[in-house]
């Protein structure tokens, strides 16, 4: 008996296109991003892997990606659960900054430390910033605990309780679960699933809009480490592009 889990990073967002650090800023999908999401749904249909329940963050790039993919797969009717614990990593004071300019200003070592180190968060975002989520009614349940910055470890720490309390319950009930989320919230989950070390997770990148399917055994350990991208060739090229973001 195995379980099926589908991970889907949202399609290209307006700030992915502009090469800006996004984090908790709620940006829309581009037309290309919407097409990627729809294609993701078609890939699921072709593979015969149809979700029974969908989890998303509270950010519209993930929500709309899920809607478009499910519409393409004729599964718009399935139950949906949204939680801030699936949100993108809060990018702190980098939110809204250009990745290439940040690389040029601070150098590659600092840039990669902020982007990919496991436990070094970027500088905190000021509450007065236009890109702050302090006071946003969508996060009223967090009170003053809205993040001002996060490293990947922080994301894992806030994601895992929800994974245990909700998502794994649906998986163990035999439901095919779709998680539509973000580059770094999904990196945190993949680190947990595949037991990737704090050091090695720096090299893992997730492309937009291509479903990543995991078969999990009874202990929720992946049958195949790393899972399977439904379009492996497109995924390989897109992973390379994410890894090199900011460098050209």
Shortest Å, Cβ 62 to ligand DG2: 8
Check binding of 153 to ligand DG2 (CB under 6 A). Answer: no
- Torsion angle of C-alpha atoms 35, 166, 146, 245, degrees rounded to 10: -40
Shortest Å, Cβ 6 to ligand DG2: 16
Check binding of 175 to ligand DG2 (CB under 6 A). Answer: no
Check binding of 182 to ligand DG2 (CB under 6 A). Answer: yes
Q: Are 79 and 53 in contact (CB under 8 A)?
A: yes
Q: How many residues does the chain have?
A: 248
Check binding of 245 to ligand DG2 (CB under 6 A). Answer: yes
Report how far residue 110's alpha carbon sits from residue 114's, in angstroms, rounded to the nearest whole number.
6
Check binding of 184 to ligand DG2 (CB under 6 A). Answer: yes
β-pairing verdict for 212-216 and 53-56: unpaired
Q: Work out the burial of residue 59: count CB atoms within 10 Å of its CB; fewer than 13 is exposed, 13-18 middle, 19 or more buried.
A: buried
Give the 3-state secondary structure of residue 243: helix
Check binding of 34 to ligand DG2 (CB under 6 A). Answer: no
Rg for the chain, CA atoms, rounded: 17
- Residues 9, 58, 82, 153: which binds ligand DG2 (CB under 6 A)? 9
Shortest Å, Cβ 74 to ligand DG2: 26
Residue 92 — left, alpha, or beta (φ > 0 → left; ψ -120 to 50 → alpha)?
Answer: left
Of the two residues 14 and 52, which places its CB atom closer to ligand DG2 in the complex?
14
13-32: contacts with ligand DG2 (CB under 6 A): 13, 16, 21-23
Of the two residues 9 and 82, which places its CB atom closer to ligand DG2 in the complex?
9
Closest of 81, 82, 92 to residue 22, by C-alpha: 92
- Which residues are tagged catalytic? 10, 88
- Encoded one letter per residue, x for contact with ligand DG2 by CB under 6 A and - for no contact, window 108-137 reads -------x----------------------
- Encoded one letter per residue, x for contact with ligand DG2 by CB under 6 A and - for no contact, window 75-114 reads -------------x--x-----------------------
H helix runs in 56-124, sequence order? 60-72, 99-106, 108-116
Shortest Å, Cβ 54 to ligand DG2: 17
Q: What are the two backbone dihedrals, phi and then psi, of residue 108, each rounded to the nearest 5 degrees?
A: -65, -35
Q: How many distinct helices (H) and strands (E) make up the chain?
A: 9, 6
Contact set with ligand DG2 (CB under 6 A):
9, 13, 16, 21-23, 88, 91, 115, 182-184, 242, 245
């Amino acid at each position: 008996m195995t379980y099926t889990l589908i991970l889907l990073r949202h399609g290209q967002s307006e700030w992915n296109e502009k090469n800006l650090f996004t984090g908790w800023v709620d940006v829309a999908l581009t037309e290309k991003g919407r097409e990627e999401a729809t294609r993701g749904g078609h890939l699921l249909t072709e593979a015969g892997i149809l979700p029974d329940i969908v989890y998303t963050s509270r950010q519209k790039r993930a929500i709309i990606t899920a809607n478009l993919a499910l519409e393409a797969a004729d599964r718009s009717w399935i139950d949906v659960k949204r939680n801030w614990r699936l949100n993108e990593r809060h990018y702190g004071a980098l939110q809204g900054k250009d990745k290439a300019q940040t690389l040029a200003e601070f150098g590659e070592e600092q840039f990669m430390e902020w982007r990919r180190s496991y436990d070094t968060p970027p500088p905190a975002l000021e509450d007065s910033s236009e890109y702050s989520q302090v006071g946003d009614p969508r996060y009223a349940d967090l009170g003053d605990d809205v993040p001002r910055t996060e490293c990947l470890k922080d994301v894992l720490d806030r994601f895992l309780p929800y994974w245990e309390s909700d998502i794994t319950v649906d998986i163990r009930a035999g439901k095919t679960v779709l998680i539509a989320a973000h580059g770094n919230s999904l990196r945190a989950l993949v680190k947990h699933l595949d037991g990737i070390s704090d050091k090695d997770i720096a090299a893992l990148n997730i492309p937009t809009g291509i479903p990543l399917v995991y078969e999990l055994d009874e202990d929720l350990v992946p049958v195949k480490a790393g899972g399977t991208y439904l379009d492996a060739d497109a995924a390989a090229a897109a992973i390379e592009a994410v890894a090199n973001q900011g460098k050209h």
